Amino acid sequence: MRSHKFKNTLIFKLLIAIAVSFLVSMAVLVSFSWLIILFFNIHYVSELSIVTYNIIELTLFSFSFLVTFYLMIRKKLLYLKMITDSVNDIAAGKLGLTIELAGKDELSQLAQNINGMSKELANKFDYERQLEMAKNELITNVSHDLRSPLTSIIGYLDLLRKGNYSDQKQLNDYLDTSYLKSKRLESLINELFEYTRLSSPDVKLDYSEVGMTGLLEQLIGEYIPIFEREKLTIVKALPNEEIHIAMDVEKMVRVYENLFMNAIKYSLKPSDIHISLDRLDSLVILKISNQVENPPLEDLNKLFERFFVGDKARKNNQGTGLGLAISKRIVELHGGTIQGEYKEGWLTFMVEHQLNSCLRDFTRLS
């Protein structure tokens, strides 16, 4: 095995080239000597001085050695030049450029490493470009979403400042509308701040071990008055045996509350909301399902994009479009996944936790 690997090395091939070049050069010298004797005679050779003869032999040997050696390594030299040119092209901005692999020696390994580096640079460049586009999109969306309520507030305050209202009722209406717009503005700013904070690479989670069944029972109990007011009935399928998991409780509670509020906003009324918790091997799976009037988007991943607001919320001027994006970020920080699924009038959000990784993180941080 080692001998086979050594045969594929550049050193072995160079040694072979040197040996062959030496043998060819020796053959040329022998042939030269025989030609001298054959076409001239031995007296002619003896008449040459030793120095002159040695110079002729050395020149002939060197020339034949260099020519043979060059011919044997010519392909490697051309391949090395191609690698050099490709590196220069990559340095000039042709990221993602790959070099055709030839052979199994160190030059081929070098080309393979350069290909990996080129792809990695291209991926990083694309990632940076996506970040730049996302930043520009974020600024655009923030500007638009902040401008709308702010414009309304300024408009109503201007009416109040000028006294353009007919009676006390209209005055109260203007004040109420301004207050609601201000609260929406505050909510948007808080959500935006939270999303930005969670997107930071320095964000840290405050892990603690918690029983999922008990936590969900408590949260559902707190939301029962809201569910009843909205004519929604909770159908629970929680295990009797407690499932312990390590998490940042405050952040994950926010995820569950976001999913509860999302179900409340978009559910048919009256209808049921199904909440289930299961353990499948090392996975802990939470499902929250509600009936919806219209099928959601074909690509449910868009629901988790920043500033995506459903048609119903947009019409009612509700939501910031950051709730599910924040939820996704929190779940991913815990090493889990969150996704949506639509089937036969039911919209289901699934939160999956890797039980082992969560407990391992908790043990490491404790």
Q: Which 3 state secondary structure label does DSSP give 184?
A: helix
Domain that holds residue 174: 131-198
3-state secondary structure of 48: coil
Q: What is the pLDDT of residue 3?
A: 54
Residues 213, 357: one domain? yes
Q: Which of 273, 214, 218, 221 is nearest to 240 (CA)?
A: 214
Last residue of a domain, one of 156, 174, 198: 198
Q: From first to last of its 366 residues, what are the pLDDT tens digits of the chain?
A: 555 566 667 777 788 888 888 888 888 878 877 776 666 555 555 555 666 767 877 888 888 888 888 888 888 888 888 888 888 888 887 777 888 787 777 778 888 888 888 888 888 888 788 777 767 776 776 777 778 788 888 998 888 888 888 888 988 888 998 898 898 888 888 878 887 788 777 788 899 999 999 999 999 999 999 999 999 999 999 998 899 999 999 999 999 999 999 899 889 999 999 999 999 888 999 999 999 887 766 557 777 765 545 444 444 445 456 778 889 989 999 999 999 888 888 999 999 988 755 554 544 444
Residue 217 in domain: yes
Residue 120 lies in a domain: no
In a domain, 60, yes or no: yes
CA–CA dist 249, 226 (Å, integer): 22
Q: What is the DSSP string of 49-86?
A: -HHHHHHHHHHHHHHHHHHHHHHHHHHHHHHHHHHHHH
Q: Which of 242, 252, 213, 202 is nearest to 362 (CA)?
A: 252
Please give the pLDDT value at position 129.
83
Helices 212-229 + 249-266 axis angle, to 10: 30
Q: For position 347, what pLDDT does the model report? A: 92
| 331 and 277 in a common domain | yes
- Whether residue 342 is found in the same domain as residue 216: yes
229 and 306 fall within a common domain: yes
The answer to whether position 326 is within a domain reads yes
Same domain, 220 and 304: yes
Domain match, 6 and 90 both: yes
Asked if the bond preceding 270 is cis, omega within 30° of 0, the reply is yes
What CATH number is associated with residue 167?
Answer: 1.10.287.130
Q: For position 340, which CATH number holds?
A: 3.30.565.10
- Look at residue 287 in the predicted model and tell me its pLDDT: 96
Could you tell me if 213 and 347 lie in one domain? yes
Residues 244 and 360 in one domain: yes
Within a domain: 85 = yes
Alpha helices in 235-322 (DSSP H): 249-266, 311-315
Which residues are CB-neighbours of 170 under 8 A, at least 6 positions away? none
- 215 and 349, same domain (yes or no): yes
Q: Are 264 and 229 in contact (CB under 8 A)?
A: no
Beta carbons within 8 Å of 73's beta carbon, 6+ residues apart: 13, 14, 17
Which letter does DSSP use for residue 347 in this model? E
If asked whether residues 39 and 160 sit together in one domain, one would say: no
Provide the pLDDT for residue 257. Answer: 92
Q: Is residue 101 part of a domain?
A: no
Of 33, 68, 94, which residue sits at a domain end? 94
Task: Look at residues 94, 113, 146 and tell me which one is the last residue of a structural domain.
Answer: 94
Position 86 scores a pLDDT of: 83
Regarding whether 335 and 229 lie in a shared domain, the answer is yes
Alpha helix (H) residue ranges in the chain = 2-7, 10-39, 42-47, 50-91, 106-162, 168-198, 212-229, 249-266, 311-315, 323-333, 355-365
Stated as kind and residue range, the H or E segment containing 278 is strand 271-280
Q: Can you say whether the dihedral through the CA atoms of 13, 18, 19, 24 is positive or negative?
A: positive
Residue 144 lies in a domain: yes
In terms of domains, do 212 and 334 share one? yes
Residue 215's pLDDT is 94
The count of domains in the chain is 3
115 lies in a domain?
A: no
